[in-house]
Structure 1
């Protein structure tokens, strides 16, 4: 069996490696070619070129690198058609992946599978119909996504979310974290202002005002910011000068210990203030109650506000089919209501406990590994099971 598989960023590389493991467990002589990072290379992938050459995000960045990206799309599609694999699997990165799939379908009848469904349930539902012309099967991370893809004519399998496989800290790790940083038994709040420069620059001032109000209400409260590597310097610059100085976990200083330290902080925290995104699932996996807040530029706010098809963007709320997590998006991203909500969650965290546990269950925590489920779905789609 020959599989052509592509990924363009670290999260996709991780998904790809797990899928490759699952396929090899079922088809020992499977061969992989495509594009991937270190994890996929370790699983035996022969990569056409370095993965980071196609890892672009944002409209401005895509436009700046459009010529190079277009050439890599064409090169990849031509390589797929020439290789005649049993299946092409593209992982996330729709700007690249779906264009490759489209060119491959135009030149062949090779089966195409896309891993990570686009958020058509939230906005731009027409994307599903466009995908259906060149994608045969979708592997979805969220349990409510298959009907949207199936309605457009594609096979769609829910395979579980990788967050359920992440290791979690225990109470001993949390106690050691508090001791290491001299936190005692003080209530602890995580502050998570995002992993992109645009997010941090917009949210840090608001979150700083929230921190000030929390300190006024609970002087004993301590703040911890596990900074994301791409924005660690910016976090220090914008958050280090807050009236209430936070403990900043800096990956540049902690190195390989950063992930363990972050997990321990998540377990030790009593509440979290987080930018909207998949971090809400990380918090739910750790059992940390949260408040979600996010803002964007005025134009983006107007456009997305018109397109949005759901009344919440917090994944814990969507997966659990509750509205347990308070959410402050766009014009509602203001310090006073956010601070009040955090104090409310701090006083009554159990209101989110059931929703977080249900979210993890629905994402596959008690079931097979997502990589195994993805491999099984791919083989079923090929009629090999």
Structure 2
């Protein structure tokens, strides 16, 4: 049922434990795990972006841990490749929005109890939840309550990866303090989150944004434009797309409708109508439709192709290289709001962010939001670098008009490329801020990644 990863010790256990022997009052995570001869990690992710973060964290833990690792929990295909046997399909948790969640509440309660039961039986040293704060925080809160209520021994340390976006909502910061009751440590992916969390009594570490792992792996930190990437002979354009679509006079647009079924069902028909409006002004238009690692989404998009008005190629999930190669041969992108907006900036691909939801969810967002933007690049830069089409403005006519401008207006395109340079610097912790963590784990600064810093924090963590 459970899988033990086959890993090599990166350095002797005695070296690791000695490094943290200065903590006299209690033991670090790895010290406690040493008593059992293995480190047991219960990890949960409920969506595609979290599956990516979770898989990289698992990989980094295996690289750094001096002990064998055992994983259990809930995750997607990427986490399963790292040794996780998922309790149930990750897609069962992939629901967003308050009103959209209501029909699924009973199923969520069943899955929550199943997950808590499995965690208690597994007896983990560490519990890690990734994003999906609705399910994650209920899990951590009820799991801790069960340990306390049943007076179970060896309560695990609770980590949550991706701090809640308290900065986006009215009164958000005031609710942070309650997290300390069931979250021992937060991994923050944005600048200033760590400081605010600590000010409200929540231990936190700024590890950097997960897309920095893409930059590290594919050397995307350099300044380059999509047109320049096209000339580099990327495998995607050479081997994966029929040459008829890659003619020099083709207009190629990456389309990213989302990772959850409900948002894809809402957004893809709108995107389809927008492409129909673009067909006449761009007669050689080609679309690359990126399909999330979600079987339900895959099936839905496959069925929708029969009504798609222009030539289209599905870009499958699972390969970061393939995704960025697709960005590299595109002239623009149309995406649903999410992590992908940052990925597109990393690729320096001019893009349009769109978003629609249930009308009651939209009303709630308008009432509670305290920032004027929805996409992370615009929020961090405090400027509408990326055009956004939200709520009623997210209609086929408006989307087509903005995409047309993106394709033809060089100043508009250049503005996004310049903004991307500033954004990437903001998302990366300075070496001085990483100093203690790097020193404790022996990580070389040039090998730093967010997941490595998070993994080193977990292994050396001492619960106060």
- Equivalence for 1:63: 105
What's the offset of the Cα at 1:151? 3.4
> Which of structure 1's runs of 4+ aligned residues deviate more than 6 A?
none
Determine if the alignment matches structure 1 residue 219 to structure 2 residue 283: yes
Tell me the distance in 2 between the aligned counterparts of 1:250 and 1:336.
25
What's the offset of the Cα at 1:294? 1.3
Tell me the distance in 2 between the aligned counterparts of 1:69 and 1:224.
35
- Equivalence for 1:235: 301
Superposition pairs for residues 193-342 of structure 1, below 5 Å?
Answer: 193-228=257-292, 230-238=296-304, 240-242=306-308, 244-249=309-314, 251=316, 261-342=322-403
What's the offset of the Cα at 1:353? 0.4
Q: TM-score, normalised by structure 2?
A: 0.69
Is the CA contact 2:128–2:159 (under 8 Å) kept in the aligned structure 1? yes
Is the CA contact 1:266–1:283 (under 8 Å) kept in the aligned structure 2? yes
Determine if the alignment matches structure 1 residue 7 to structure 2 residue 44: yes
Q: Secondary structure of the residue that 1:132 maps to in structure 2? A: helix
Q: TM-score, normalised by structure 1?
A: 0.82
Tell me the distance in 2 between the aligned counterparts of 1:313 and 1:11.
17
Tell me the distance in 2 between the aligned counterparts of 1:364 and 1:302.
34
Superposition pairs for residues 143-222 of structure 1, below 5 Å?
Answer: 143-166=191-214, 168=218, 170=229, 171-173=232-234, 175-176=237-238, 180-185=243-248, 186-222=250-286
Superposition pairs for residues 97-116 of structure 1, below 5 Å?
Answer: 97-106=136-145, 107=148, 110-116=156-162
Is the CA contact 1:7–1:92 (under 8 Å) kept in the aligned structure 2? no
Tell me the distance in 2 between the aligned counterparts of 1:310 and 1:5.
35
Distance 1:286 1:198, change over 3 A: same
Distance 1:343 1:367, change over 3 A: farther
Distance 1:130 1:205, change over 3 A: same
Q: Secondary structure of the residue that 2:45 maps to in structure 1? A: coil
Tell me the distance in 2 between the aligned counterparts of 1:194 and 1:181.
27
What does the per-residue CA deviation read over 1:9-56, in whole Å, with 9 as the maximum and x for residues that have no partner?
Answer: 4544543343344345444026445425566566566x6x62537941
Cα RMSD of the aligned pairs, angstroms, is 3.4
Tell me the distance in 2 between the aligned counterparts of 1:165 and 1:234.
30
Consecutive unaligned residues of structure 1, counting only runs of 5 or more, are none
Distance 1:26 1:57, change over 3 A: closer
